[in-house]
Structure formats: C-alpha cells, structure tokens
Structure 1
C-alpha cells in the first residue's frame, strides 16, 4: 500500500489565456459557426444553408456548446412552427478579429502551397 497523497499548499497556477481562448473554439466547425453569425442573427436552417457540408447533428452540437460557453445566444421565435435564432454575444464578437487573423494566414498558406511544384508529376 502506498503513501497517501497530501494536498498541495501552493495555489494552482493561473490558467493560460491562449489555452482558454482556444478551448472556446474547440470542436469541428465551431470557428465557422462563429464566423457565420458575425453578420447578423441566423436561424438554424439559414446556418445549414450557409454551411452545406455540416450535418444537422454537428451544427446542433456546436450551437449548444457555443451557447454553454457564453459565445452565442439562442432566442426562441414565436412562429408556427416554433423556431430559434442564434446570435453572437459581446464575448463571441471579441473572437472575430482573431478568427479573421487566422483566416488571413490560412489564405497566405494556401497561396504559398499552390505555387509549390507538385510531387509525382
């Protein structure tokens, strides 16, 4: 039998801000959903139309996750049939410049890769 584990008397280190922000956007499609909501509030069907390659199941999961993290709000509309509209919160809007910067680097990388000679030709 081993020795018992003692509690640490040292306070845990502060969380890494970069890791915290990146964890907000974890999961496939999360940055895309945030980007699509940057213009205006959108209904579920509109988001599916905006991102045709995402499945309804994944979109629903991403919207729930982003809502639970405080990046997206969900507002139920009094329509028949009932519908919901999703919008970015102020915190969600703060992510847009970072996502835009990452997208710009991605555009540069794609342009660079397109100029490289292809192997096997």
Structure 2
C-alpha cells in the first residue's frame, strides 16, 4: 500500500508517486483521447474530428505512445479501405474514475469560476 504520509519533502521530482502517471497520461492531447475512448471505441478519423486543432502526425504519435504504455488497444481490420479502431485496454479502463474526478474538479473549480467572473 502506498504511504501518502511523507516525513519530509521529496528529494527529487521523480520521487513523487504522481509523476509516473503524468508521464503516461499527461500532456495536451492524451487526456482528451482517453476521455473520448471512455465513451466508446473510435476509429482514427472519428478521434481526429473530435479533437479540433490536433495535427494528424501528433495524434498518431500520441496514440502510439498510449498503445505502448498499455492504455489503449489498436485493432486493424484487413479490409479495403483499411479500418482501424482504438479502445481502452483493461489497464486504460482503470483510469475512468480518475478522469471523471478530474472532469468534476475542472467543472467545479475552473469552468464554474470562469462563469462567475
């Protein structure tokens, strides 16, 4: 079990238990990709249309990194034209509660406070 009580400051940023998670799911696009895949399996084109502003090359790289980290599963079907689908893996599905908590926090603390301004 993770001991969250620390007797002192972290010696290095790498000692923070959250750093490894941020390395895997952090960045501008990965959380959005994960959020969309929580909803349903998506094809490459569907994902791209759902994320305005992401370059094809960047999205492809982000998907490859998420696949390499075991967060998503890429399924290519031998059809003409080729069809590729992306879905969360079992490991990726364990992020659902975390992502929903982040969405709730954002709604409460960022989006709602912007409306009040």
Tell me if TM exceeds 0.5.
Answer: yes
Q: Figure out how many residues of one structure are paired with residues of the other and give that number.
A: 103
- The answer on whether the counterparts of 1:27 and 1:62 sit within 8 Å (CA) in structure 2 is no
Q: Which residue of 2 aligns with 1:71?
A: 71
Q: Per-residue CA shift, 1:4-55, capped at 9, x if unaligned? A: xxxxxxxxxxx64322222111232100001111122211001112223222
* Greater share of residues in helix: 2
> In the alignment, does 2:102 pair up with 1:114?
no
> In the alignment, does 2:103 pair up with 1:103?
yes
Structure 2 segments unaligned to the other structure (5+ residues): 1-14
TM-score (norm 2): 0.79
C-alpha distance in 2, partners of 1:53/1:27? 14
Q: Which residue of 2 aligns with 1:62?
A: 62
Q: Which residue of 2 aligns with 1:17?
A: 17
C-alpha distance in 2, partners of 1:37/1:51? 12
C-alpha distance in 1, partners of 2:56/2:101? 28
Runs of 4+, deviation exceeding 4 Å: none
Structure of higher CA gyration radius: 1
C-alpha distance in 2, partners of 1:110/1:41? 27
Question: Offset at 1:81?
Answer: 1.7
C-alpha distance in 2, partners of 1:92/1:63? 13
Q: Per-residue CA shift, 1:45-99, capped at 9, x if unaligned? A: 0111222322211111110010010001111112102221111001111111111
